[in-house]
A = this chain, B = another copy of it.
Amino acid sequence: MTKTPAWIAVDWGTSRLRAWAMASDGVALEERASDDGMGRLAPDDFEAALLNVIGDWLGQGPINIVACGMVGARQGWREAAYLAVPNRPHGGAFTRPLTLDDRLNVHILPGMMQTGPADVMRGEETQIAGYLSLHPDFDGILCLPGTHTKWVHVSAGEVVSFQTFMTGEIFALLCEKSVLRHSVQSEDINNDAFSQAVDDGIADPARLAARLFSLRAEDLVHGQDATNARSRLSGLLTGAELGAARPYWLGQAVTLIGDPKLMKLYAGALASQGVTAKQFVGDDATRAGLVAAHRKLQESLS
């Protein structure tokens, strides 16, 4: 890179730090990443971890850095208090951690919270803000599938309510740490087995607890193949989520924001329930959200 960026965008989650050197027109000049996620850092470690990644992007003068995600959690660099819904996803003030290197003007975006039922998000609000910056008239449901899937009701540019499901984390724990790990070692998904399990999960959620061990037992007793078992596990958990999230999607306009492979699974599951979901790539939403936040920062400074 031959010139100093106009500003730096940072997506700083629990396990990863990603940074983009940004031109003033919102184009990313370069992208970098490291494994220095919030989860492995103490508050005093954040500045060095950031400089490790972006140090040689800096010039002589100060530069604005806009950051979203768990970097603003209580265990993060500096806590950025949650913004209560209903509210615009970037309706709050930035939080400014102190830095030793006075070239770093770091601005951390707040997450959002809901008091009843209690819920929180950090990072997804930036994806929502990014999507809304490109679709300002959107009114409906956003679903952000991932480790902690969020179902979000958006109206008039505000997050009205949302609900979090631990589906992705539970799937990963069961696949990697539970007795089922012996029976689901496969990289593939069988769409038919997934769809059937989604239907089973939605139709009879009370039986979820009874169905999980049967994935192991079907392997031991009948030699069920691992792709089938993994697909069924994913489908059962996704079906349980869809059953519980029904008030969000039933008869609604749904847009998925996330990883393309995961969105494909969710879109298929929703299609089986008669819902045609649009899809928007999560990385693009994150970047658009950071660009929108930077624009807001500039407006506040001008």
Contact = CB atoms under 8 A, between A and B. Distances in A.
Contacts of A180: 166
A197 to B, nearest CB: 14
Contacts of A243: 206, 209
Query: What is the count of identical protomers in the complex?
Result: 2
A148 B113 contact: no
A152 B119 CA distance: 39
A15 to B, nearest CB: 12
A120 B219 CA distance: 10
Contacts of A163: 210
Contacts of A220: 74, 82, 113, 118, 120
A237 B213 CA distance: 14
A261 interface: no
A213 B179 contact: no
A218 interface: yes
Interface in A113-127: 113-115, 117-120
Interface residues of A, number: 44
A118 to B, nearest CB: 4
The winner among A114, A179, A222 for most chain B CB atoms within 10 A is A179
Contact of A178 (B119, B166, B208): B166
Contacts of A244: 206-210
A165 interface: yes
The winner among A163, A165, A167, A217 for most chain B CB atoms within 10 A is A217
A164 B244 CA distance: 24
A241 interface: yes
Contact of A206 (B206, B218, B221, B237): B206
A208 B208 contact: yes
Contacts of A148: 179, 213
- The 3 A-B pairs at the shortest CB distance, nearest first, are namely A118-B217, A205-B206, A210-B244
Interface of A: 74, 82, 113-115, 117-120, 148, 163-167, 169-170, 173-174, 177-180, 205-210, 212-214, 216-218, 220-222, 237, 240-241, 243-245
26 contacts: A82-B220, A113-B217, A117-B214, A118-B214, A118-B217, A118-B218, A118-B220, A118-B222, A120-B217, A120-B221, A148-B213, A166-B178, A166-B180, A166-B209, A177-B177, A205-B206, A205-B209, A206-B240, A206-B243, A206-B244, A207-B244, A208-B240, A209-B237, A209-B240, A209-B244, A210-B244
